[in-house]
Structure 1
Amino acid sequence: MRSARKSRDRSGVLCGIRTSWNTIGDGEFFCEECGGDRNYRRRTGRRRLTLLGVPVLPRGETGPVIECAACHTHFGTEALAHPTTSRFSGMLRDAVHTVALAVLAAGGTSSRTAVDTAVTGVRAAGFADCTALQLIELVEALAADTGRFLPDVTSGGAALAIELHEALEPLSPHLATAGRESILLQGARIALADGPYSPAEREVLGTVGNALALRVDDTERLLASARTTSL
């Protein structure tokens, strides 16, 4: 029994597979193992059968893999689809800003309460220097740009949907349901700041819910809840 076990152990040491890695690129990514942004190396490998530690026969290629420069864990290349912390923050900030502009464009900027509510949300998202004047000027500039952003039901609705989808869809897969609902509710608070939803505001908020991959009935439930809370 003992001699047989020694023989198996010896054969495991004598023969094995070794991978020789080659770095073909690098960058920064979000490492799930470390739980934060880290540098990475994009690597491919060649596998070889080894005898007594010496490579003797090729056994094909492997990879590419993403190797964390800190913990050296290997991930599939799909790990690069996860935004870094800094990029995610920028995406979230831009999404909230776009929703605020869209709702103001739909309801108008004559209500100081609505504009101030939008400013509060945009500042909380990361644009600390945002002012009411800046938002008003942006809405006016967008309206002057052949109406491409304003939700004119007959002509601008499709253009507005494109703007919102471009800002929200890349972010949605990386947000929990509560996070996606929070963005919609922020838009609802802006719309309700000066009274009940207008048809144009409802249209915009429905587009926001769709772009955030929320079900239609969930969007309606959230909008109704926000209306009740604001009373």
Structure 2
Amino acid sequence: MLRDAVHTVALAVLAAGGTEAPTVRRAAVGAVRAAGFADCSEEQLVTLIEALAADTGRLPGRYPAPAVAGRDGFDPCGTALAIELHEALEPLAPHLAPAGRESILLQGARIALADGPYRPAEREVLATVGRALMLCPEDTDRLLTAARTTPS
């Protein structure tokens, strides 16, 4: 469950912030590999993000205009993504110590920060991750601030 949770968070952050920056892709691959997917590659993650964006039946948060939503009209902070995050993280959260829940959020934050400051969509996804991990909003904000000032 932990391995899948980290994978889901990495995909969510990539969907929110984009996969264009090599530093972001490398950070996501590093987190996913460290969680137990040793064979994970940048190409696999990018392919999964593209598949999620194209799967309009599964992720109904698509909009016709990219200006309204994220890249290619994909709404990275849509309801379907929030549901996926909750489904992956909520069953795990009661079994983790607070430091474990915080670690998952920090991994997502480090991915988001790999190409610069948080984008609004990344921040929204990370707030959803915090809620799904049963972290109070103040703790989530504290951790996201700490991630900006702490080297990985």
For Structure 1 versus Structure 2, the TM-score category normalised by the shorter chain is 0.7 to 0.9
Q: Does 1:122 align with 2:43?
A: no
What is the rounded CA distance, in whole Å, between the counterparts of 1:159 and 1:137 in structure 2?
18
| Structure number, greater radius of gyration | 1
> Aligned residues, how many?
141
Q: Where does residue 61 of structure 1 map in the other structure?
A: none
Partner secondary structure for residue 20 of structure 2: coil
Q: Where does residue 4 of structure 2 map in the other structure?
A: 94
Partner of residue 148 from structure 1, selected from 59, 74, 99: 59
What is the rounded CA distance, in whole Å, between the counterparts of 2:90 and 2:125 in structure 1?
15
1:64-75 equivalences under 5 Å are none
- Output the TM-score relative to the length of structure 1: 0.58
Q: Where does residue 66 of structure 2 map in the other structure?
A: none
The RMSD of aligned alpha carbons is 2.1
Q: Where does residue 130 of structure 2 map in the other structure?
A: 209
Partner secondary structure for residue 150 of structure 2: helix
What is the rounded CA distance, in whole Å, between the counterparts of 2:29 and 2:20 in structure 1?
14
What is the rounded CA distance, in whole Å, between the counterparts of 2:121 and 2:127 in structure 1?
10
Q: Structure 1 unaligned runs (5+)? A: 1-90
Larger RCO: 1 or 2 (CA < 8 Å, sep 6+): 2
> Which AA in structure 2 matches 1:123?
R
More strand by share: 1
Structure 1 runs (4+) greater than 6 angstroms displaced: none
What is the rounded CA distance, in whole Å, between the counterparts of 2:61 and 2:135 in structure 1?
23
- Output the TM-score relative to the length of structure 2: 0.87
What is the rounded CA distance, in whole Å, between the counterparts of 2:17 and 2:149 in structure 1?
19
Q: Where does residue 82 of structure 2 map in the other structure?
A: 161
Percent of aligned positions with the same letter in both sequences?
Answer: 72
